[in-house]
Structure 1
Amino acid sequence: MANIKPFKAVRPTRDKVSLVASRSYQSYTQAEREARLDHNPYSFLHIVNPGYKYDKEISGVARYQLVKNRYSEFKEDGVFTQDASPYFYIYKVVDRDNQVFNGIVGAASVEDYKNNIIKKHEDTIASKEVVFKDYLKTVGFNAEPVLITYPDNTEVSSIIKKKQEERAEYEFTTTYRDTHYLWLITEKEAISAIVNAFKNIPTLYIADGHHRSSSSELLCLDCKEQNKAHNGTENYNFFMSYFIPESELKIHEFNRLVKDLNGLTKEEFLIQLDAIYRIENRGAIPYKPNKKHHFSMYLDGEFYSLHLRKSIYTFKNSLDKLDAQLLYNTILKPILGITDVRKNNRIDYLSGKKEIVSLVNKIDSGKFRVGFGMIPANIEELKSIADDGLKMPPKSTFIEPKLRSGVTIYEF
């Protein structure tokens, strides 16, 4: 059974939330970041990029301390206030494509994560876990929830629907043309109903935020060791999460871009592919696959369809059936010589949410030699891989929604 709880969020005042809320720091170009930092004194980017105030790049522990300082200043200036009681928060996003996402922001249990009640489908990098743990420990807050999915639940859905009949606490549209809404669940009966509903859900799945989850576990271990009065109810025993039903999760693929053909000529490369795929030249007209185990390939200004010859390939487990893994097993590793997709600089990734012209432009520019496209993984694949204790290769999924940083903040 899953143990989730409400918490006292630190939030922007209603009049400033649209100015505070930001995308993740890495998603902005340098020019975009500078424009926001120059012209918006309330942007959350000022907190996560504190060196901008001094026109200096600052890293490591010194940066963490400055992040904490900027955050304290936002609270002192009344930009942020903390709710007096622990609440759940309904967060709704309507994106530019009119896709609607409804979920609940609350706190997930580190114990559930450790005990595999909250299951993972991606590997994490130990060094990144430690870095982010140290960051969290110094700054004392987290502003980006982990995305966790759960089986559709009528009781939870009815609570969300009823609350959304009221006026939202927040309603703002971003320059990205997404509209964000937030409602506070303050009623004790509704809060208890949500907690109890999740107690009847045996398993939750991380959709996005594996490093944030694992870092929260490390933080909990550190704090537990240092707190002689530890009783398991402290905030560090939980981490902020966005709980969204499986039916509302949107999964996109990541296309693969490779810089060279591993010393092969185009003809030699195609001959090796022919051993395991049926290949058809589709010409210059963009082609996207529409079935599992079918791929598109763009090479020398032309698209190809690749259909797996199933009679000569055996699926040994749920991971082998994942198209991102299949591409690795049949092409990237044996033909193109990319054994470690996490570290090899010959490979790059492009979200399938982007238009196919983005892939074409990157290859036509000469930066890359060949590109591969696939259809997105589905939620059942993600769950099967997690249930089997296996891990997807990196960049197997691009999952939405993407919430704004700084709308709800969880303090430890």
Structure 2
Amino acid sequence: MAIIKPFECVRPKKEYVSKIAALPYDVYNRAEALREVQKEPMSFLRIDRAETQFDESVDAYDERVYKKAHDILWDMIKQGSFEKDTKKCYYVYQLVMNGRSQTGLVACASIDDYENNIIKKHEKTREDKEIDRIKHVDTCNAQTGPIFLAYRSNDIINELVKNKMKEEAMYHFVAEDHVTHTVWKIEESKQVSVIEQAFQTIDQIYIADGHHRAASAVKVGLKRRALNQNHTGKEEYNFFLSVLFPDDQLMILPYNRVVKDLNGYSETEFLDKVKENFEVQEMGKEPYEPNKKATFGMYLNHTWYELTAKHHLISKDAVEGLDVSILQNYLLDPILNIKDPRTDKRIDFIGGIRGVKELERRVCEDMKVAFSMYPTKISELFEVADANQLMPPKSTWFEPKLRSGLFIHTLE
């Protein structure tokens, strides 16, 4: 039984929404974030990446940075750039990219559900990244970037959302990256109750994206519990900001790979080694994207190849059967000596949103070989999480990205 509750949202005033809404903090490096803030002074990156308000001598994780994030957020609230709803509401959030839409519900999920594994994880988090967002949430006294959750589609929720979308939207704008964002508010008490009860019939929720934000929000909540002698379990710090999507709305893009060298092999020797575990077919000069599982595109010396894993490599295990595992276990590791793709500097990862032409560009510029992947399915993500296993690194790329600053959940 999942607890997915409405909340009193702090959100931009309508006239500022397109200026404030920003891509997540972790899609930018410091220089890129600074350029975005200089281009749009109201961008929420001023808060999510408050180091942009200091010169390079101030470390991004300096205590002054978190204090600045707090001050900017609460000054903007005080000055009227944001407003706070006085009723606990849900919000319908639709994103449209390249003609394809996905629609989710903005709500708050329970840290107890996270702790008790009702909210399933599939990714290992890094302590340094957690510490950064713990400090940000705790100092700001607010969660500013929603966690991307998924659940198995529910007819009751679907019907209510569909009907709500026939009404006038609260927000509607097209962002700079041409993604259209539309938001409707669900505030009528009967509708709110229907949604809350419908989620209580759902056994499992899955983190699709945002494992570090989720872990950080939970740790802030647990810390505040320990400090509150009058803790009841109803305080806002017991819940974290989320957008929940039914599984049939989601599309995962591939997460492609490029490698700097052939580990000492000549191109002929390398191809011979690859043929030990893969059927190799030359495809020519046109970019190749695989269209089924256990197949891979490979770009080498201005030529594309199709690699098809030999039958004995394909496992029924939730993790070992993933395409990213097959490539890692039977090519990247044994042939190219990429033992740990998390830390090896010879490998880089290219989100599917950038297309396979980006793979060609990197091979021409600073890499030797590239691999285009067949995307992981949402059902595979669920299967791995249900088995309490972890996905290999860089297994999924979700688009479009949820915007930060559209919805803020305050902890008091």
CA contact (8 A) 1:119 1:387 kept: yes
Q: Distance in 2 between matches of 1:314 and 1:47?
A: 46
The yes-or-no answer on 1:346 pairing with 2:342 is no
2:117 is matched with 116
Deviations for 1:242-265, whole angstroms, at most 9, x for unmatched residues?
011111011011001111111222
- Give 1:30 deviation, angstroms: 6.8
**Residue equivalent to 1:89:** 91
* Cα root mean square deviation, aligned: 1.7
Identify if the C-alpha distance between structure 1 residues 261 and 35 changes in structure 2 by more than 3 Å, giving closer, same or farther.
Answer: closer
Deviations 1:62-98 (A, max 9, x none): 2111100111111111001111121111111122x11
Letter in 2 for 1:331: L
> Separation in 2 of the partners of 1:28 and 1:215?
19
The verdict on how the C-alpha distance between 1:26 and 1:118 changes in structure 2, with shifts beyond 3 A counting, is: closer
Residues 130 and 218 in structure 1, CA contact (< 8 A), matched pair in contact too:
no
Within the alignment, does 1:214 sit opposite 2:215 as a pair? Answer: yes
User: Residues 130 and 330 from structure 1, CA distance in 2 versus in 1: closer, same or farther, beyond 3 angstroms?
Assistant: same
The one-character-per-residue Cα deviations of 1:309-336 (angstroms, maximum 9, x if unpaired) are 113x352611111001111111111111
Q: Secondary structure at the match of 1:16?
A: helix
Note if 1:78 corresponds to 2:88.
no
What do residues 326-378 of structure 1 show as CA deviations (whole Å, max 9, x unaligned)? 1111111111111111111111001122222111011011x111111121111
C-alpha distance in structure 2 between counterparts of 1:131 and 1:39, whole Å: 25
Identity %: 37
Q: Residues 231 and 252 (structure 1 numbering): CA distance in 2 closer, same or farther, change over 3 Å? A: same
- Which residue does 2:142 correspond to in 1? 141
Q: Distance in 2 between matches of 1:48 and 1:398?
A: 21
Q: Which moved more, 1:253-262 or 1:283-292?
A: 283-292
Counterpart residue identity of residue 88, structure 2 = P
**Any conservation in 2 of the 1:249–1:401 contact (CA below 8 Å)?**
no
Structure 1 residues 37 and 314 mapped into 2: Cα distance closer, same or farther (>3 Å)? closer
**How far 1:201 moved relative to its partner?**
0.6
Inter-partner Cα distance in structure 2 for 1:24 and 1:352: 17
Whether the 8 Å contact between 2:2 and 2:118 is mirrored in structure 1 is yes
The aligned counterpart of 2:407 is 408
Match of 1:65 among 67, 92, 98: 67
Q: How does 1:329-344 map to 2 (within 5 A)?
A: 329-344=329-344
Contact 2:143-2:217 within 8 A present in 1 as well: no
Name whichever of 56-65 and 34-43 sits farther off.
Answer: 34-43
- Post-superposition Cα deviations, 1:160-203, rounded to whole Å, max 9, x if no partner, equal 11211211111111121111111111111111100100000111
Specify whether residues 53 and 115 from structure 1 end up closer, same or farther in structure 2 by C-alpha distance, changes over 3 A only: closer
Aligned position for 2:321 = 321
Query: Which residue is equivalent to 1:13?
Result: 13
Whole-Å separation in 2 of the counterparts to 1:51 and 1:148? 28
Contact 2:294/2:314 (<8 A) preserved = no
Q: Secondary structure at the match of 2:74?
A: helix
TM-score, structure 1 as length reference: 0.95
Tell me the equivalent position of 1:289: 290
Instruction: Tell me the secondary structure at the aligned position of residue 128 of structure 1.
Output: helix
Residue 15 of structure 2: SS of its match in structure 1? coil
Report the equivalent of 1:225.
Answer: 226
The residue type paired with residue 77 of structure 2 is: K
Q: Structure 1 residue 33: deviation in Å?
A: 4.2
Deviates more, 1:15-24 or 1:189-198: 15-24
Q: Are the structure 2 counterparts of residues 58 and 163 from structure 1 closer, same or farther at C-alpha, using a change threshold of 3 Å?
A: same
Deviation at 1:304, TM superposition (A): 1.0
Question: 28-37 or 119-128: which moved more?
Answer: 28-37
Match of 1:357 in 2: 357
Cα distance in structure 1, aligned partners of 2:54 and 2:275: 58
- In structure 1, the residue matched to 2:379 is 380
Structure 1 runs not aligned, ≥5 long: none
Q: After superposition, what is the alpha-carbon deviation per residue over 1:15-57, rounded to whole angstroms, capped at 9, x for unaligned?
A: 1111111112343577764454335332212223434445454
Matching residue of 2:27: 27
Aligned length: 409
* Structure 2 residues without counterparts, runs of 5 or longer: none
Q: Match of 1:308?
A: 309
